[in-house]
Amino acid sequence: MTTVYSPVDGKKLYDVADGNVEEAYARARKFAPKVAEMSPRQRAEYCKKLQYYIAENRESILDRVIAETGKSRFDALSSEIFATLDVIHYYSLHGPKLLKDRKLPFSLAFMGKTSKIYYEPLGVVLVISPWNYPFYQAVVPLVNAFIAGNAVVYKPSEVTPLKGLVEEVLEKSGFPAEAMQIVYGGKEVGQRLVEFGADKIFFTGSRNTGKKIMEAAAKKLTPVELELGGKDPMIVFEDVNIERTVNGALWGALTACGQSCTSVERLYVHQSIFEPFKKTLEEKLVKLRTAVPGEEVVKNLNLDVGTMTAKFQSAIVSEQVAAAVHAGAAIYMPRDHYSDLHLSPVLLTRVTHQMEVMVEETFGPVLPMTSFKTEAEAVEMANDSPYGLSASVWSKDLVRAERVARAIKTGNVSINNVMYTEANPGLPFGGTKDSGFGRYKGEYGLYTFCNVKSVLIDQQSNKIEPHWYPYTPEKYAALSKLIDGMFSRGASLLKFISAGLRIESLAQKQKL
């Protein structure tokens, strides 16, 4: 049993009982063949129904999401509704095409044969999600896995389970609700779901939990995809438009109150514009409208920064800031915190990589900022992190910006924008280093949920393959010639054909 609390006023919202792991798997296993039997086009049609329902009922969905997360309504509209719809739209449109059997280009060595790839379902995919984007993190992995032909067992976070909401959306939209079995509960339920054995685990959450899941999954060799935390750097060169770039930095650091895996968590500004950049940041930070206790959050269309979602996360944020200040960081905070969930956004300067706030994920409304002298130094600082999820590079010089984008060890980079790779559902999303591995979304992300099967089709005939028995000295010599004709320095088409014909004729004569 879990109790869910409102981040807006701290009051209890509801209790939710732990789900039954065995029953959920049994139902998913039973329904998985039905999903697999549907054509990708049929699945896409179901996804379209889901898309229309979410678009048409977005306001009531938003009420529920904000009541549990404390997000500003605009944040929730863009990241939970728009972004979710965009992915559904992408897969409804492109999924069936991407899942068609693919024929490989013809090669001389395989004359008379056809090589194909089939994209087949895996069966039952277990999706475990975090609390920061509870609607998006439920629907997007579902659609990804479903369009590829799988059934899903889904465990939302115990912090923001959105009890009953996703079930209602699936049922009322006309989507086959049996395709997604929702199991409520916390860590122990998550552990049992992992141990029970899915055909694939798609996990989004913290690095530490990711490690535990991978360890547990290894016992049954269940494949895992891990979408973990980040400590995203933003690198700003001297030739930027300061006004626009400051706006980008503020939004990147503070959207969802900084509780996004791809939030800007470290800001590196060229020393020649450090002071004017900082001054503009401070001027704009003061103007942001942040959540105030007792004032409307759910229906407030003028709110920029919402509340923190969970008290335990606020405590981590406050501890990191206090430790940085203790170690010499300068703090700019436009107002005091109103409560432990209503945090004031914070700008930190005089920070170093010896401080936790510059290396560990903060996941709150904090922007630590320092300067760099050279491009090499900026890259070195950006890469001085255990994480590698996303990054942004800002410069008018696009050649330089792309050079830096290549040099940063990360899964995603936006140039002259922030968190924007995520806005294109055709781009795969995922991390490197401690941010995890694997990709979802886009073409690459679709195949994450497929058994990519290689198929070679030959004709029925009396022809014997040259590499079949019996092995003879003549065939050995002919194969050696073929290697020379194909791969040695003097290789040529003529030599290849002549050796090929020789070995072929030997194979047909020297039969077992």
Q: Catalytic residues, which ones?
A: 227, 261
From candidates 68, 75, 80, 158, binder to ligand NAD by CB under 6 A:
158
Which of residues 130 and 485 has its CB atom nearest to ligand NAD in the complex? 130
User: Residue 321, by phi and psi: left (phi above 0), alpha (psi -120 to 50) or beta?
Assistant: alpha
Burial class (CB in 10 A: 0-12, 13-18, 19+), 427: middle
Site string for ligand NAD, 384-413 (x = CB under 6 A): -----x------------------------
Window of 81-89, 202-210, 298-306, 333-341 that interacts with ligand NAD by CB under 6 A: 202-210
Q: Mask of contacts with ligand NAD, 412-431, x by CB under 6 A?
A: -------------------x
In this complex, which beta carbon is closest to ligand NAD, that of residue 133 or of residue 175?
133
For residues 358 and 389, which CB has a smaller minimum distance to ligand NAD in the complex?
389
The token pair at 250 is 């503020």
442 near ligand NAD, rule: CB under 6 A? no
How far is the C-alpha of 17 from the C-alpha of 15, rounded, in Å? 7
Please choose, out of 86-94, 207-215, 270-278, 320-328, the segment that lies near ligand NAD by the rule CB under 6 A: 207-215
The answer to whether 234 and 202 are in contact (CB under 8 A) is no
Report whether 499 contacts 484 (CB < 8 A). yes
Q: Are strands 124-128 and 200-204 parallel, antiparallel or unpaired?
A: parallel
Using CB under 6 A as the binding rule, whether residue 345 contacts ligand NAD is answered as: no
State the DSSP code for 173: H
Give the chain's count of helices (H) and strands (E).
Answer: 17, 20
Q: Which stretch binds ligand NAD (CB under 6 A): 5-13, 81-89, 142-150, 200-208?
A: 200-208
**With respect to ligand NAD, which residue has the nearer C-beta, 265 or 304?**
265
CA gap 29, 36 in Å, rounded: 11
By CB under 6 A, tell whether 157 contacts ligand NAD: yes
Distance CA 294, CA 338 (A): 10
Q: Which single residue is written with the structure tokens 């479903």?
A: 146
Task: Find the shortest distance in angstroms from Cβ 269 to ligand NAD.
Answer: 24
Distance of alpha carbon 335 from alpha carbon 332, whole angstroms: 9
**Closer to ligand NAD by Cβ: residue 349 or 385:** 385
Helix axes 207-218, 187-196, angle to 10 degrees: 30
Residue whose C-alpha is closest to residue 71's, from 131, 143, 146: 131
CB of 249 within 8 A of CB of 264? yes
Cβ–Cβ under 8 Å, residues 22 and 38: no
Interacting span for ligand NAD (CB under 6 A) from 93-101, 154-162, 285-293, 297-305: 154-162
209 binds ligand NAD (CB under 6 A): yes
- Is there a contact between 342 and 111 (Cβ–Cβ < 8 Å)? no
> Which window, 68-76, 190-198, 245-253, 286-294, contacts ligand NAD (CB under 6 A)?
190-198
Query: By C-beta, is 38 or 341 nearer to ligand NAD?
Result: 341
At residue 295, φ and ψ (nearest 5 deg) are: -95, 155
Nearest to 391 by CA among 422, 351, 428, 348: 422
Q: What angle do CA 253, 60, 295 make, to 5 degrees?
A: 55
End-to-end CA distance of the chain: 70
Q: Does 155 bind ligand NAD (CB under 6 A)?
A: yes
| Residues of this chain, 242-261, that bind ligand NAD according to CB under 6 A | 261
Which of 123-131, 244-252, 396-404, 503-511 is the region at the interface with ligand NAD (rule: CB under 6 A)? Answer: 123-131
Which position among 27, 212, 337, 403 is part of the footprint of ligand NAD (CB under 6 A)?
Answer: 212
The answer to whether residue 2 forms part of the interface with ligand NAD (CB under 6 A) is no
As measured in angstroms, the least distance from the Cβ of 185 to ligand NAD is 7
Q: Which of residues 346-375 bind ligand NAD (CB under 6 A)?
A: 361, 363
Quote the DSSP letter at residue 142.
H
Q: Which is nearer to ligand NAD, 89 or 212 (CB)?
A: 212
The answer to whether 68 contacts ligand NAD (rule: CB under 6 A) is: no
For ligand NAD, the closer of residues 53 and 133 by Cβ is 133
Binding site for ligand NAD (CB under 6 A): 128-133, 155, 157-158, 186-187, 190-191, 194, 204-206, 209, 212-213, 227-230, 261, 361, 363, 389, 431
